């Protein structure tokens, strides 16, 4: 507490004289915040009498209010504009932003904007639990910065809630005499909610949705009303709803959007502005369970090399800018895929019908026609609106059986397509080799795959088996994306690029030091994509493959959408965008619209700063929606894995050390890529010290080492549903 703070004493009634000093400090802080909130809401100077009147119901004396106002004056948070009139100081460290709570009770405020003319902050302000008041996770709040720590992190307090982030919370119901108590499932809401009895009354432990009564809520007590009974939390669909609530995912379409989708004509009549490509032997190649087919390909052999057709569903024909469908697609930003479930960006009539390139049906598309020489060098490109007819639906497995396994039975069944598939294989191989030579980084990170039964139960969890059929589609989509991006740059079009910037120098140095310790040969010179790709290749198939790939991935920055083309570092590409999935990604739909404007010769003023600003905002928003979707998908996978492992308690597994810290060893099972941890308290053979620099633990007496990448045998000890964690112990401990 500063010396200035001690100049005024907060008056207390005799019965409160024994109040803890911390409570007195909290009361002072609340009064100061109330005054700041009053001045913020008034938008004009306010007399001290009006401030007192505004705060009259808050059990504060006039002396308290005068003393608090004088203190705020001394701190230059407010200023006088006349006799006993006050207003906020323009340079006061006051900011608006979104409150993000940590399960431990503290929080940070993100996306901060100065209220008036305060300096911009370089780091998100920290909010201690005592400084949060009645604000909840996701609320838009007004804060004051009390001080800035040596590391540049501001320490702040919530002044007032500007707007509520959400009014519903998912939780678990437990009956009591008054009705019941709901404990929020999301630990970022660290409070209980008192609810009245409902009909039908949930069973103890059932998942429910509660609407909070924010008018009655306080820092000490929260009230709400059950609006939806979800049921048993072990049900996969209940878990999905819990994830939806946790990440505030829009999962139902408005009646206006659905009506618009239902009224769209189901007719595909060729027109003068569309190239008729129905005789071109387009095919689709997707996974066995795919339902929306947004890309079709065809490869022809030419005198100079190959001609590749990449035809993408013309979603822009059906979804007009500013329409209800467009607004809802933008708010989602992306489709979100859970095991056996999906939250689509577009209604099913579009994603699974009108915009799905199903076999033997005419469909509107946007086509990239790309000409390559035999080595995969792009010779020319053309983009057009088109109409196509997919001639066959292939799966990755079938294509692999034809091209890689050379299965005679499967080949006979698909004889009309063998030549085109052979050419596709040749072109994809050339594109892949060319991309790798330029330095595109080929990470080898196994992914898990969750398979469900027909009744929605978890059947198996294994790893995704990739084959060259996946690579064919990947190479063709990459080629199309690069061609569109290069076309945008060459023609000065305004569009969203998919950019991936170079890693920070400090992270590269940290990675290089560890890679050197592992005995890897590190080439000297610029740390280009080719430099990183060389390291990945060097450790491929060795015991260091896992650790190097994981640490290298952590070194990289996150790809995002931006109107400023800075290239894609990971792909070693100077031009890259997302063009190939407009059914499930809004940025691709945005790119389609701009491409169509370009090929129809519609002007685009490169000096239009308003367009630049709008694209910047759009890129930031859609990047955030993508990150939210990824987090939600990972969370759902984790929840299902935890429930799946419940049946395997006491069993032994082969694993690999995926990380270490002062409290635990983190492991990943080899066969399923399921993650868990071993508490250091369960390592009874020694006391282990954390060697941060080398990503390892060292036994103080024995010198035994647990290092990231090491194989380890483990036994499943327990699973924790409430925190979605899986606990293991070393195999020898059983």
Is the pLDDT reported for residue 31 higher than 50? yes
β-bridge mates for residue 696, sequence order: 691, 707
Banded pLDDT at 514 (limits 50, 70, 90)? confident
* pLDDT at residue 610 in the model: 62
How does residue 456 score in pLDDT terms, banded at 50, 70 and 90?
A: confident
Confidence band of 607 (pLDDT split at 50, 70, 90): very low
- Which pLDDT belongs to residue 7? 45
**The pLDDT of residue 75 is above 80:** yes
Q: Is the pLDDT of residue 609 over 60?
A: no
The superfamily CATH assigns to domain 649-733 is Nucleic acid-binding proteins (2.40.50.140)
Domains 5-163 and 649-733 in one fold: yes
DSSP strands (E only) in 150-294: 154-163, 168-176, 179-184, 193-196, 207-212, 223-231, 275-276, 283-286
Q: Give 527's pLDDT tier (boundaries 50, 70, 90).
A: confident
Please write the tens of the pLDDT for every residue from 105-138. 899 999 899 998 999 998 999 999 989 988 999 9
Residue-level pLDDT at 18? 46
Is the confidence at residue 82, as pLDDT, over 90? no
SS3 letters across 16-43: HCCCCHHHHHHHHHHHHHHHHHHHHHHC
Q: What is the pLDDT of residues 617-638, one digit of tens each?
A: 999 999 999 999 999 999 999 9
| Residues contacting 325, CB < 8 A, separation 6+ | 257, 260, 261, 318, 319, 346, 347, 350
The rounded distance, in Å, linking the Cα atoms of 123 and 121 is 6
What pLDDT does residue 21 have? Answer: 67
Longest dimension (CA), the chain: 99
| Residue-level pLDDT at 605 | 52
Contact between 712 and 729 under an 8 Å Cβ cutoff? The reply is no
Count of other CB atoms within 10 angstroms of residue 252: 10
What are the beta bridge partners of residue 168?
A: 211
Query: What CATH number has the domain spanning 5-163?
Result: 2.40.50.140
**156: CB partners within 8 A, 6+ apart:** 95, 109, 125, 126, 127, 131, 143, 144, 145, 146
Helices (H), 315-358: 315-318, 324-332, 348-349
Q: Within a 13 Å sphere around the CA of 473, how many CA atoms are in the beta-carbon half?
A: 24
pLDDT value at 517 more than 50: yes
Residues 294, 531: Cα–Cα separation, whole Å: 35
Q: Across the strands, what pairs with 461?
A: 450
Helix, strand or coil, per DSSP, at residue 665: strand
Quick one: average pLDDT of 665-682?
94
- 3 alpha carbon, distance to own chain's centre: 45
Give me the sign of the Cα torsion angle 486, 492, 498, 499.
positive
3-state secondary structure of 448: strand
Q: Which of 351, 357, 423 is nearest to 584 (CA)?
A: 351
Which residues fall within 8 angstroms of residue 42, CB to CB, at 6 or more apart?
A: none
Neighbours of 447 (CB within 10 A): 9
Least confident of 84-88, 521-525, 702-706: 521-525
CA distance 734 to 732: 6
Mean pLDDT of the chain, nearest integer: 90
Q: Rounded to an integer, what distance in angstroms lies between the CA atom of residue 322 and that of residue 328?
A: 10
**What percent of the chain has a predicted confidence (pLDDT) above 70?**
94
Neighbouring-strand partners of residue 47: 85
Q: Which fold has domain 168-233?
A: OB fold (Dihydrolipoamide Acetyltransferase, E2P) (2.40.50)
* 373 three-class SS: strand
Q: What is the pLDDT of residue 56?
A: 66
Domains of the chain, by residue range, sit at: 5-163, 168-233, 257-430+451-496+577-629, 649-733
pLDDT-derived band of residue 89, with 50, 70 and 90 as boundaries? very high
Over residues 570-581, the pLDDT tens digits come to 999 999 999 999
**Residues 292-329 pLDDT 10s:** 899 999 999 999 999 999 999 999 999 999 999 999 99
For residues 595-609, b (16+ Cβ closer than 10 Å) or e, as one string?
bbebbeeeeeeeeee
Length of the chain, please?
A: 734
What global pTM score does this model have?
Answer: 0.88
Pairing of the two strands 126-127 and 168-176: unpaired
Q: What pLDDT, in 10s, does the model give residues 261-293?
A: 999 999 999 999 999 999 999 999 999 888 789
């Amino acid at each position: 507490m500063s010396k200035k703070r001690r100049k005024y004493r907060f008056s207390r009634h005799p019965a409160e004289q024994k109040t803890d000093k911390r409570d007195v400090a909290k009361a002072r802080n609340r009064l100061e915040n109330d005054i700041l909130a009053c001045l913020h809401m008034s938008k004009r100077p306010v007399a001290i009498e009006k401030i007192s009147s505004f705060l009259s119901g808050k059990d504060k004396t006039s002396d308290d209010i005068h003393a608090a106002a004088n203190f705020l004056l001394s701190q230059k948070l407010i200023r006088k504009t006349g006799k006993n009139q006050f207003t906020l100081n323009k340079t006061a460290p006051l900011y608006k932003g979104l409150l993000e709570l940590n399960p431990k009770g503290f929080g940070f405020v993100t996306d901060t904007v100065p209220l008036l003319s305060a300096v911009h902050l370089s780091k998100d302000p920290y909010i201690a639990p005592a400084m949060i008041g009645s604000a909840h996770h996701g609320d838009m709040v007004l804060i004051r910065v009390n001080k800035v720590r040596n590391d540049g992190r501001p320490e702040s307090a919530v002044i007032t809630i500007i707007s509520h982030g959400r009014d519903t919370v998912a939780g678990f119901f437990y009956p009591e005499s008054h009705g019941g108590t709901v404990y929020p499932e999301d630990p970022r809401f660290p409070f209980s909610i008192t609810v009245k009895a409902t009909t039908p009354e949930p069973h103890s432990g059932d998942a429910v949705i509660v609407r909070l009564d924010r008018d009655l809520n306080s820092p000490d007590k929260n009230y709400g009303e059950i609006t939806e009974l979800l049921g048993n939390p072990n049900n996969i669909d209940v878990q999905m709803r819990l994830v939806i609530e946790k990440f505030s995912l829009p999962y139902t379409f408005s009646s206006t959007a659905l009506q618009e989708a239902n009224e769209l004509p189901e007719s595909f009549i060729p027109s003068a502005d569309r190239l008729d490509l129905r005789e071109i032997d387009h095919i689709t190649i997707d996974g066995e369970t795919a339902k929306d087919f947004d890309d079709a390909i065809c490869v022809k052999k030419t005198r100079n090399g190959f001609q590749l057709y990449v035809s993408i569903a013309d979603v822009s024909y059906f979804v007009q800018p500013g329409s209800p469908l467009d607004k809802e697609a933008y708010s989602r930003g992306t489709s979100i895929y859970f095991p056996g479930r999906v939250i689509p960006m577009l209604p099913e009539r579009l994603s699974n019908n009108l915009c799905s390139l199903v076999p033997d049906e005419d469909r509107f598309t946007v086509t990239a026609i790309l000409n390559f020489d035999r080595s995969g060098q792009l010779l020319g490109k053309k983009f057009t609106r088109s109409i196509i007819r997919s001639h066959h639906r292939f799966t990755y497995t079938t294509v692999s059986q034809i091209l890689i396994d050379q299965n005679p039975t499967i080949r006979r069944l698909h004889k009309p397509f063998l030549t085109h598939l052979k050419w596709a294989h040749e072109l994809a191989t050339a594109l892949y080799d060319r991309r790798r030579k330029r330095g595109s980084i080929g990470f080898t990170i196994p992914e898990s795959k969750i398979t469900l039964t027909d009744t929605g139960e978890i059947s198996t969890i294994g790893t995704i088996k990739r084959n060259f059929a996946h690579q064919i589609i990947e190479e063709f989509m990459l080629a199309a994306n690069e061609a569109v991006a290069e076309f945008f740059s060459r023609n000065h079009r305004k569009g969203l690029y998919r950019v991936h910037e170079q890693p920070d120098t400090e992270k590269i140095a940290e990675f290089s030091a560890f890679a050197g310790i592992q005995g890897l040969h590190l080439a000297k010179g610029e740390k280009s994509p080719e430099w990183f790709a060389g390291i990945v290749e060097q450790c491929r198939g060795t015991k260091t493959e896992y650790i190097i790939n994981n640490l290298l991935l952590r070194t990289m920055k996150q790809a995002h959408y931006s109107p400023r083309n800075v290239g894609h570092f990971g792909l070693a590409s100077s031009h890259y965008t997302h063009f190939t999935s407009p059914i499930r990604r809004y940025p691709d739909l945005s790119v389609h619209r701009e491409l169509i404007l370009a090929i129809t010769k519609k002007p685009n003023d490169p000096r239009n700063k308003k367009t630049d600003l709008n694209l910047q905002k759009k890129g930031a928003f859609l990047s955030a929606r993508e990150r939210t979707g990824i987090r939600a998908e990972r969370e759902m996978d984790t929840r299902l894995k935890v429930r799946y492992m419940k049946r395997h308690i006491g069993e032994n597994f082969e694993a690999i050390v995926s990380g270490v810290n002062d409290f635990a060893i983190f492991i990943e099972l080899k066969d399923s890529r399921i993650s868990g941890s071993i508490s250091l308290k369960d390592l009874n053979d020694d006391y282990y010290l954390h060697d941060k620099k080398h990503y390892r633990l060292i036994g103080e007496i024995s010198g035994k080492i647990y290092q990231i990448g090491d194989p380890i045998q483990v036994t499943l000890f327990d699973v924790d549903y409430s925190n979605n964690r899986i606990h293991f112990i070393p195999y020898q401990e059983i």
